[in-house]
Amino acid sequence: MNRLVILGAGTAGTMAANRLRRRLPRDWSVTVVDRDDMHLYQPGLLFLPFGVYEPHDLLRPRDRFLRDVELVLAEVERVDADASHVRLRDGRTLGYDLLVIATGTSPRPDQTPGMTGAAWRRSIFDFFTLDGALALRDTLERWPGGRLVVHVTEMPIKCPVAPLEFSFLADAFFAERGTRSSVDLTYVTPLEGAFTKPVASEHLGAMLAERDIAVEPDFVVDHVDPDSRLLVSVDDREIPFDLLVTVPLNMGDELVARSGLGDELNYVPVDRYTLQSRAHADVFAIGDANDIPASKAGSVAHFSMDGFVENIVDHVRGRPMTHRFDGHANCFVESGHGKGLLIDFNYDTEPLPGVYPYPRIGPLSLLKETRANHLGKLAFRHLYWNVLLPGRSMPVPSLMSMAGKETASTQGR
């Protein structure tokens, strides 16, 4: 019996397990390892502080979504890639013929001096964890107003548009309560502008300006002074806050570091097109666990999956891996007041205006605020549980298409 072991039963790990179980020969066993049996719908954490969802809307048992797959609930101590086995903390060892690392990325507030401590989740909050989002919800309910700073420590992060979305939703939240005039909103980023891609950055930056949200770019944080409530940069700039909503440094799982498989941020270096480890031919890293220069967002895990599965099937049969992932990502950007926009891009092409996924028809608009985009973001939760995780196909191309997009050569037509 040949053995496929997948570390992590999040978005990427669950999709990979279900798809590969159907495609691999029956003489392959598929085992998924995770520390617990609770799957969290992470995109919903953005809405939790504003009362849109409750925790039960975002949580499901992992084993509900794994078909004909063994789920092992245990902490992983380390991977011995030379011996091709995974050592669990309870003393068990899992041998493998093929290993897929899908352990994701996590916020690490402990990596920024002053971020954690007595002020953590009192005046300094995160929203990329369930506990953090719930604590922030309780605070926003009773917060009288003041200086609200939304801060990104460093890239890459899960869903790079999420802190922008939080800023837009906060603006709408306070406006609908009639308290927006008592809130001073500032968006602080290590980037030169609002986003990583120039066209989208200009568009999103203009949206921040329209909402009277100040932007502090090129801000590389050195430390947080929780007593004086100051965010301090490496070049000694200081930004005061009454409430700091931060996206801490994101890092891959510690088991990657313990196994000697990662870079300085615990991401596995892989070939950006095949997701195969650069160091070990029988190891792959998918989703947020690798170092590809793409968004650490669920859409990347989804769009990479078709080619990844085909490559794995070819790999186990001794054939060359010819399916090349192009870094395709798209993200709904919630902009408040029941509207949103959509961006679609890859390694080489930045977000452009137009319609998606079908030319002329859409029905979704690119780089344009619409009600349909907002409804699309809310509807995605149903698709996530019922289509993506079970490994079913979506009626959109996995590789990025220029169909429906407006370029400099088409805009004048």
**pLDDT truncated to tens, each residue of the chain (413 aa)?**
999 999 999 999 999 999 999 999 999 999 999 999 999 999 999 999 999 999 999 999 999 999 899 999 999 999 999 999 999 999 999 999 999 999 999 999 999 999 999 999 999 999 999 999 999 999 999 999 999 999 999 999 998 899 999 999 999 999 999 999 999 999 999 999 887 777 778 889 999 999 999 999 999 999 999 999 999 999 999 999 999 999 999 999 999 999 999 999 999 999 999 999 999 999 999 999 999 999 899 999 999 999 999 999 999 999 999 999 999 999 999 999 999 999 999 999 999 999 999 998 899 999 999 999 999 999 999 999 999 999 998 888 899 999 999 986 555 44
pLDDT digits (tens, 9 = 90+) for 61-115: 999 999 899 999 999 999 999 999 999 999 999 999 999 999 999 999 999 999 9
Q: How many CB atoms lie under 10 A from the CB of residue 390?
A: 15
CATH number of 2-46+59-104+253-316: 3.50.50.60
Two structure tokens written together for 227: 């007593």
Two structure tokens written together for 342: 């959509």
For residue 218, give the 3-state DSSP assignment: coil
User: Considering the domain 107-250, what is its CATH architecture?
Assistant: 3-Layer(bba) Sandwich (3.50)
pLDDT digits (tens, 9 = 90+) for 227-238: 999 999 999 999
- Rounded CA-CA distance 277/290 in Å is 9
Task: Please list the residue range(s) of the chain that carry CATH number 3.50.50.60.
Answer: 2-46+59-104+253-316, 107-250
For residue 210, give the 3-state DSSP assignment: helix
Q: How many CB atoms lie under 10 A from the CB of residue 139?
A: 16
Two structure tokens written together for 183: 């809130």
CA angle 102/69/253 to nearest 5° reads 20
